[in-house]
Amino acid sequence: MSVEAGVLDTNVLVYALNADAPQHPVSRALLEHARDPSTTLYVTSQILCEFYSVITNPRRVASAVSAGDGLAITSALLALPGLQVLPMPIDTVDRWIDLLARHPVTGGGIFDVQLVATMQANAVQRIYTFNTADFERFSGVTVLEPH
């Protein structure tokens, strides 16, 4: 699989951890590319928080982990040389407001809007996700479902 620079959405990280998920092999393979320092994949602090929240919540995953294990797993992700955390520049809020005016959402959809604003603020256009419909409405964002 050829891996181009882009953001790994929360669901890709969760599936990479869940060996029982049908999406596991491709998610794991994509994450394995982050072991190579010549690879450029990204997450955000929001994605890391969402990931930790999901993997430690027994209502969200069948094999939830403890808080300590969640921290260790998240720390291990951060140690991968090809995985970088995108910063949230000051203009991200302005971008978020602009996107929300053009793409009104309610509830949890706001987190996708914030992620796109963070991507735009960092000139990152590609996101790897299994929730493609959540991002296809945003112009300038290339949505790739891992395969």
Instruction: Say if residue 3's pLDDT is above 90.
Output: no
pLDDT recorded at residue 1: 56
Residue at 51 is within a domain = yes
Q: Is 119:86 a contact under the CB 8 Å cutoff?
A: yes
Partnered with residue 8 across adjacent β-strands are: 128
Domain containing 131 equals 6-87+124-144
Taking the C-alpha atoms of residue 141 and residue 147, their distance in angstroms, rounded to an integer, is 18
Residue 147: pLDDT above 80?
no
- Write out pLDDT tens, residues 66-115: 999 999 999 999 999 999 999 999 999 999 999 999 999 999 999 999 99
116 lies in some domain: no
- The pLDDT assigned to 145 comes to 80
In-domain check, residue 109: no
Token pair of 127, please?
């996101």
Best CA proximity match to 41, nearest among 49, 31, 50, 51: 31
The predicted pLDDT at position 88 comes to 94
- Asked if residue 55 belongs to a domain, the reply is yes
Per-residue HEC secondary structure of 70-127 comes to HHHHHHHHHCCCCEEEECCCCCHHHHHHHHHHHCCCCHHHHHHHHHHHHHHHCCCCEE
147 vs 33, higher pLDDT? 33
Domain-located, residue 95: no
The rounded distance, in Å, linking the Cα atoms of 77 and 35 is 9
Q: Which CATH number belongs to the domain containing residue 130 in this structure?
A: 3.40.50.1010
The pLDDT of residue 111? 94
Would you say residue 35 lies in a domain?
yes
Residue 103: inside a domain: no
Q: What is the per-residue pLDDT across 114-140, written as a single tens digit (0 to 9) for each? A: 999 999 999 999 999 999 999 998 988
Q: What total number of domains does the chain contain?
A: 1
- Confirm whether 34 is domain-assigned: yes
Q: Which two tokens stand for residue 63?
A: 């094999």
